Amino acid sequence: MVQTVLDSGRVSDLSAIRGVYLKAFRIMLLARLLEEKLASLYRAGKMHGGVFIGRGQEALSVSIGLSLREGDIFAPLIRDQAGRLAFGEPLLDAVRTYFGSVLGPMRGRDGNVHRGRPRQGLLPMISHLGAMIAVVNGALLARRLKGIQGTVGVASVGDGATSTGAFHEALNQAAVERLPLVLVIANNQYAYSTPNSRQFACASLLDRARGYGVEGHGVDGTDLIECLRVVGQAIARARAGHGPQMVVAELLRLCGHGEHDPADYVDPQLKNSRLGRDCLKVAEEFLLEHGWADATSLAEWREETQRTVEEAIAQVQREPTPDPFKESWVALSSRHLCETHEEEVPNPGADI
């Protein structure tokens, strides 16, 4: 979708991109305000478990979602709230999964960012880093076997995940099979507390692409227009049959690893560098500069978006939480093959 207005290589006509840019901005804003709300609920002790947000990575993430089409595959990771929304994941999926609502896609069984709708091509991440890439490969191979053409799959990872064996195996696999995989790496300079200098020794993660015979694209992850262009281009090339593509976005995680983490290990020099720019602010300035929005409309959007977030949270807080008595407690779809364990004593309602 983005590619139709962004010609490969450079943005030729800004006005042609206006619609996509504004759409992207509104989604980034929604992701940001939702995650700020979840973070504040976490600080108030109102969440189960951790909260993991994508502050500073919305421009990259939204570009993935907007560049994909219905029928494509997307395996987002922890910092992809914006991309999920742009791909079509309902806002309520996020809220319901965080609160463990039975009405959510994970029904309280899995939580927070561990959610998806596999029937719609949105793969539910497991925590184990790097593990989703080969699964995207499998979905793409299946489409080839089924004779379905023109779809692509995106797997999202961080710099840290590039050290996993799973990453290397899956990238090589995609290259050998020449699958339309787009691997988007958010190089946010840290994996939890570990800086890149302790994670890899190549000059650029793009070297990894070359090593596996895959096309690589670098992008400034703080700049929405660049993200839309480069991610869009990589996805278009995969769709056009040029094999796997790797995008490496340079940016900084503008939050802790999770909301429990004050992240005081982040180098202040990085924070003050171009990498540390807030992509949402950069986009706002762009909008004002080009007259695509004024201060009043920005304020209105923010207010409207905040209301949307508050309504979603309020709605989900009224929804039923899982009831252990009603839970089926089976992990197989072949119910007749499930074992029952005689020694199990019904144990709901235990004190928490």
Partner 1 sequence: MSITYLEAIREAQARALAEDPRVFIYGQDVGAFGGAFKATKGLAQEFPGRVIDAPISEDAIVGLAVGAAIEGMRPIVEIQFADFSTVAFNQIVNQAATFFWRTNLPCPITVRLPCGGTLGSGPFHSQTMESVYAHYPGLIVLTPATVEDAYSMLLEAVAIDDPVIFCEHKLLYYHLKAETLPTEALPVGRARIAREGRHLTLVAYSAMVHEALAAADELKTEGWDIEVVDLRSVKPLDTDTVMASVARTGRLLCVGESWPWGGVTAEVITRVASEGFALLDAPPARLNAKDTPVPFHPNLWAAHRPTARSIAAAARKLLRQ
Ligand X SMILES: Cc1ncc(C[n+]2csc(CCOP(=O)(O)OP(=O)(O)O)c2C)c(N)n1
Residues from 150 through 179 that contact partner 1 (CB under 8 A): 160-161, 163-166
Nearest to 70 by CA among 120, 139, 24: 120
111 binds partner 1 (CB under 8 A): yes
Q: What are phi and psi of 218, to 5 degrees?
A: -100, 150
Our CA angle for 83, 85, 88, nearest 5°, is 110
Q: Which of the listed partners (ligand X, partner 1, none) does 114 bind, with a CB threshold of 5 to 8 Å by partner kind?
A: partner 1
306: amino acid identity, one letter = Q
115 or 237, CB closer to ligand X? 115
Nearest to 287 by CA among 275, 274, 298, 302: 298
Among 1, 7, 50, 319, binds partner 1 (CB under 8 A): 50
Q: How far apart are CA 53 and CA 176, in angstroms?
A: 34
Handedness of CA 33, 123, 252, 289 (dihedral sign): negative
Least gap, CB of 190 to partner 1 (angstroms): 10
Which residues contact residue 271 at a Cβ distance below 8 angstroms, ignoring those fewer than 6 apart?
A: 252
What is 92-114 written as a DSSP string? Answer: HHHHHHHHT-TTSTTTTTS-TT-
100 binds partner 1 (CB under 8 A): yes
The residue nearest ligand X at its CB is 158
253 binds ligand X (CB under 6 A): yes
Q: How far apart are CA 267 and CA 189, in angstroms?
A: 10
29 or 78, CB closer to ligand X? 78
Least gap, CB of 116 to ligand X (angstroms): 16
Among 44, 147, 334, 351, binds partner 1 (CB under 8 A): 351
Least gap, CB of 15 to ligand X (angstroms): 34
Least gap, CB of 77 to partner 1 (angstroms): 13
How many residues are listed for the chain in this entry? Answer: 352
Q: How far apart are CA 44 and CA 263, in angstroms?
A: 19
- Piece in contact with partner 1 (CB under 8 A), picked from 12-20, 171-179, 224-232, 338-346: 338-346
- Piece in contact with partner 1 (CB under 8 A), picked from 135-143, 231-239, 311-319, 321-329: 321-329
Nearest to 26 by CA among 79, 69, 65: 65
Number of residues in contact with ligand X, rule: CB under 6 A? 18
Least gap, CB of 324 to ligand X (angstroms): 27
Per-residue interface string for the shown chain with partner 1, residues 251-290, x marking contact by CB under 8 A:
--------------x-------------------------
* Sites of contact with ligand X (CB under 6 A): 78-79, 127-129, 157-161, 164, 186, 188, 190-192, 253, 257
